[in-house]
């Protein structure tokens, strides 16, 4: 056998997983073959066996399914997948019903299929290490646990108890697993696992699974139990509201749980197999696996980070500007153990920024998520000041002042000399080109864009922008800084709006353009939600401030004029400008924009009634699919243009940036995966149709088409 070692000694059959040439064990094709073979050998050796131990020769226990193989599956492969899943379960069942005690020795992480293998054991012993992750993350990849995970977790914990672990993909460490009985015993190091396993085998010579006991009853009751039935009655509607019908995995998982709870064990696992076989070959599953496994791991492993640069650990970081953004950066930094200097033009403003950290930490104390001692330590790391001299010795200074060139240049010149030798300077601008801002720096090679998203403590993405003169060391150190904050960095090259702001702008301005054409505002907003965006384009424009969009427009006009070039705003930009300048509606923070915001507590916002009077054209014919496609295709086309122009350099930065930065629907796998998942030919045909109807925003030039083909993923 290639991936499994089998040893029978002194009555103990040890099955050790050890996939050659791989840092982890996976359910690859060889493993499936080997599992069948080792199961047959165990059955043959039954009379000589007193107990079975499941172990791993890797630093982790088992990583789960072979996801590269999954990406190659086609719809016609579903029957084959079903047969393979059923064979795996047949092997699992043979081991756990042999009449011999089976112990799983968890030396490390076991996720997805790895956790399902762990559940074969009647008893699970694990190393007491909080870094070890256990559980079923399949839903986050557009899949369901299909190798007995749903059936067993439901029978172990009950329908209600299992929901967080299945429907929400809640992961847990070994100590957390003790309470619900998912892990039975802990050891301090891996060397003790076998000893504990042997002791349990000796004490339990005829172990069986709980559900094989004639006296077994499902915890909490069956679906017919009135309390369970009441909760299940509303669950599908809640899932539909959350998923908008775009994420079938949630619906399939719930169905497998409920249907499986009403039948015998073997029928339940067969139900589970059918749902997985249908789902695993679907476009949504492939899109989500591509992005939330392969793309995210590419970023975490540093594929976007310049090579050959030593790792950087931030020690003392200055933040210029104690407004909402600067205060948020300071809070996140201090929470990660980084000494932080928060500077503003007055001590009052600086302390007001620090008060944000006081508020955030106090909320955590009140909820029992942190201690007063830890709160005090975090706050002690933040020095609020109006003195530039307090920045002396910072290895990084992040400028987070208002989007004004002159202001940014002034604070750069003032603060940059305070950097420690070898330090670097970053600007948090969301739109202004980095190369231009670097003109104020004495060391443009040590000047970089680090674009945070608001609110900083909640938004996972950070966009790192390389200016024309930024060197590799500075980009690499910015990458390390972002990872030190526990966030996801993408690296892009300089341009107006970079990647995220530029593509976000295409989404919101397409919404505004449709309004200017006469399409009803409620149609535009609902279409955005129906296709999977977090909110409609008009609502998000209000949240980010229409006045900010106008400020960016004015700055762009000024920049173009300085270069002697004309600038022709889009009809969406002109509509937003009109709303701000003519109708005095600057957005939510200014009292109203596309929406009215009632002062009464708990009252819901509503679209400004005058939108109907001013812009809607009652006789206009519009098509809902066109409206939805315009919102998604416009962003995908702009992303492909960024890749073609070299603003983006990798597909994984594009996909992760679009989802975590601008809320592109996760079911698509991101803006580039939306193209590849649909099929390049089908996407380009539809984009051409939209360009013919709605203008150049959807035009795919020859270089863009070539870039799409060149960068398509291969598995």
What is the phi/psi pair of residue 142, to 5°?
80, 15
Residues 538 and 389 in one domain: no
Residues 131 and 158 in one domain: yes
Instruction: Give the domain extent around 337.
Output: 316-495
Residues 489 and 510 in one domain: no
Residue 291 domain-assigned (yes or no): no
Query: Is the pLDDT reported for residue 219 higher than 90?
Result: yes
Confidence of residue 407 (pLDDT cuts 50, 70, 90): very high
Query: Is the pLDDT reported for residue 244 higher than 90?
Result: no
Last residue of a domain, one of 495, 512, 532: 495
* Total structural domains within the chain: 3
Confidence of residue 86 (pLDDT cuts 50, 70, 90): very high
Q: Which helix (H) or strand (E) holds 593?
A: none
Average pLDDT for 19-29: 94
Query: Is the pLDDT reported for residue 559 higher than 90?
Result: no
Full DSSP string of 218-240: -TT--TTSHHHHHHHHHHHHHHH
Query: Is the pLDDT reported for residue 432 higher than 90?
Result: no
pLDDT tens digits, 314-344: 999 999 999 999 999 999 999 999 999 999 9
> Strand, helix or coil at 321?
coil
Residues 479 and 620 in one domain: no
Residues 123 and 97 in one domain: yes
Last residue of a domain, one of 238, 255, 281: 281
Confidence of residue 580 (pLDDT cuts 50, 70, 90): very high
pLDDT tens digits, 509-556: 999 999 999 999 999 999 999 999 999 999 999 998 898 889 888 888
Predicted pLDDT at 34? 97
Full DSSP string of 254-292: HHHHHHHHTS-HHHHHHHHHHHHHHHHTSHHHHHHHIII
Predicted pLDDT at 603? 86
Residue 300 domain-assigned (yes or no): no
Residues 203 and 117 in one domain: yes
Burial per residue of 327-338, b for 16 or more beta-carbon CB atoms within 10 angstroms, e otherwise: bbbbbbbbbbeb
Last residue of a domain, one of 479, 495, 511: 495
CATH number of the domain where residue 378 is located:
3.40.50.720
Mean of the per-residue pLDDT values for the chain?
95
Rounded to whole angstroms, the Cα distance separating 558 from 568 reads 12
Residue 450 domain-assigned (yes or no): yes
Residue 408 burial (10 A CB sphere; 0-12, 13-18, 19+): buried
User: By the 8 A CB rule, do 715 and 68 touch?
Assistant: yes
Residues 459 and 519 in one domain: no
Asked, as a colleague might, if the bond just before 488 is cis with ω within 30 of 0, I would say no
Residues 406 and 542 in one domain: no
Question: What is the Rg, in whole angstroms, of the alpha carbon atoms belonging to the chain?
Answer: 28
Query: Is the pLDDT reported for residue 375 higher than 90?
Result: yes
The contacts of residue 175 (CB under 8 Å, 6+ apart) are: 128, 130, 186
Residue 294 domain-assigned (yes or no): no
Predicted pLDDT at 457? 95
Query: Is the pLDDT reported for residue 203 higher than 90?
Result: yes
Predicted pLDDT at 430? 84
Average pLDDT for 292-313: 95
Query: Is the pLDDT reported for residue 88 higher than 90?
Result: yes
Rounded to whole angstroms, the Cα distance separating 218 from 207 reads 19
Residues 452 and 546 in one domain: no
Rounded to whole angstroms, the Cα distance separating 687 from 513 reads 17
Closest to 48 in 3D by CA, of 96, 94, 11: 11
Residues 491 and 508 in one domain: no
Work out the angle at residue 299's Cα, subtended by the Cα atoms of residues 461 and 321, and round it to the nearest 5 degrees.
Answer: 30
Predicted pLDDT at 23? 94
Residue 290 domain-assigned (yes or no): no
Predicted pLDDT at 241? 83
CATH number of the domain where residue 156 is located:
3.90.226.10
The contacts of residue 565 (CB under 8 Å, 6+ apart) are: none
| Two structure tokens written together for 467 | 């200016």
pLDDT tens digits, 142-176: 999 999 999 999 999 999 999 999 999 999 999 99
Residues 216 and 239 in one domain: yes
Q: How many residues does the chain have?
A: 715
Residues 156 and 238 in one domain: yes
CATH number of the domain where residue 523 is located:
1.10.1040.50
Residue 163 domain-assigned (yes or no): yes
Residue 697 domain-assigned (yes or no): yes
Residue 309 domain-assigned (yes or no): no
């Amino acid at each position: 056998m290639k991936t499994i070692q089998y040893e029978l000694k002194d009555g103990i059959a040890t099955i050790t997983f050890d996939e050659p040439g791989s840092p982890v064990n996976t359910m690859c094709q060889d493993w499936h073959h080997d599992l069948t073979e080792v199961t047959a050998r165990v059955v043959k050796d039954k009379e000589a066996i007193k107990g079975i131990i499941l172990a791993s020769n890797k630093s982790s226990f088992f990583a789960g399914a072979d996801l590269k193989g999954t990406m190659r599956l086609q719809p016609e492969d579903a029957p084959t997948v079903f047969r393979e899943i059923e064979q795996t379960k047949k092997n699992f069942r043979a081991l756990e019903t042999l009449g011999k005690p089976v112990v799983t020795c968890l030396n490390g992480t076991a996720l997805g299929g790895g956790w399902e293998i762990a559940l074969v054991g009647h008893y699970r012993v694990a190393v007491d290490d909080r870094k070890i992750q256990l559980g079923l993350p399949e839903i986050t990849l557009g899949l369901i646990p299909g190798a007995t995970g749903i059936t067993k977790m439901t029978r172990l914990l009950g329908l209600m108890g299992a929901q967080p672990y299945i429907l929400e993909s809640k992961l847990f460490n070994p100590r957390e697993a003790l309470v619900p009985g998912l892990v039975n015993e802990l050891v301090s190091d891996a060397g003790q696992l076998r000893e504990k396993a042997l002791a349990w085998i000796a004490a339990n010579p005829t172990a069986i699974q709980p559900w094989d006991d004639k006296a077994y009853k499902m915890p909490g009751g069956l679906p017919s139990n009135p309390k369970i039935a009441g909760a299940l009655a509303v669950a599908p509607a809640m899932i539909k509201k959350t998923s908008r019908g775009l994420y079938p995995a949630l619906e399939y998982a719930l169905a497998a749980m409920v249907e499986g709870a009403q039948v015998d064990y073997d029928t339940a696992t067969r139900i589970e197999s059918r749902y997985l076989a249908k789902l695993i070959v679907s476009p949504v599953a492939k899109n989500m696996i591509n992005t939330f496994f392969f793309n995210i791991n590419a970023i975490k492993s540093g594929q976007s980070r310049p090579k050959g640069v030593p790792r950087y650990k931030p020690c003392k970081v200055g933040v210029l500007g104690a407004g909402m953004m600067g205060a948020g950066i300071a809070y996140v930094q201090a929470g990660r153990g980084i000494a932080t200097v928060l500077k503003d033009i007055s001590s009052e403003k600086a302390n007001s920024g620090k008060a944000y950290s006081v508020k955030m930490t106090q909320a955590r104390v009140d909820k029992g998520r942190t201690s007063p001692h830890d709160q005090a330590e975090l706050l002690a790391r933040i020095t609020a000041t109006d003195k530039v001299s307090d920045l002396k010795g910072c290895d990084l200074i992040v400028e987070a002042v208002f989007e004004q060139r002159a202001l940014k240049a002034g604070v750069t010149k003032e603060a940059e000399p305070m950097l420690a030798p070898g330090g670097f300077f970053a600007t948090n601008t969301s739109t202004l080109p980095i190369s231009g801002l670097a003109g104020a720096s004495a060391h443009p090679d040590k000047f970089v864009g680090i674009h945070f998203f608001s609110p900083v403590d909640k938004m996972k993405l950070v966009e790192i922008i390389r200016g024309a003169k930024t060197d590799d060391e500075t980009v690499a150190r910015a990458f390390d800084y972002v990872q030190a904050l526990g966030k996801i960095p993408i690296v892009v090259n300089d341009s107006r709006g970079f990647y995220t702001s530029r593509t976000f702008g295409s989404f919101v301005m397409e919404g505004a353009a449709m309004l200017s054409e006469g399409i009803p505002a409620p149609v535009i907003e609902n279409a955005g939600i129906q296709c999977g965006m977090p909110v409609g384009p008009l609502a998000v424009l209000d949240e980010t401030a229409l006045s900010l969009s106008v400020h960016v427009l004015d700055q762009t006009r000024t920049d173009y004029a300085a270069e002697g070039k004309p600038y022709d705003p889009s009809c969406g930009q002109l509509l937003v400008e009109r709303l701000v300048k003519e109708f005095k509606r600057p957005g939510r923070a200014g009292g109203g924009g596309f929406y009215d915001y009632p002062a009464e507590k708990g009252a819901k916002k509503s679209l400004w009634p005058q939108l109907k009077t001013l812009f809607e054209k009652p006789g206009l014919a519009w098509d809902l699919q066109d409206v939805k496609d315009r919102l998604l295709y416009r962003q995908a086309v702009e992303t492909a243009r960024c890749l073609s122009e070299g603003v983006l350099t990798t597909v994984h930065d594009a996909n992760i940036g679009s989802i975590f930065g601008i809320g592109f629907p996760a079911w698509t796998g991101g803006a580039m995966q939306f193209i590849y998942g649909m099929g390049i030919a089908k996407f380009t045909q539809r984009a051409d149709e939209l360009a013919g109807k709605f203008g150049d925003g959807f035009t795919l030039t020859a270089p863009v088409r070539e870039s799409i083909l060149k960068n398509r993923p291969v598995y």
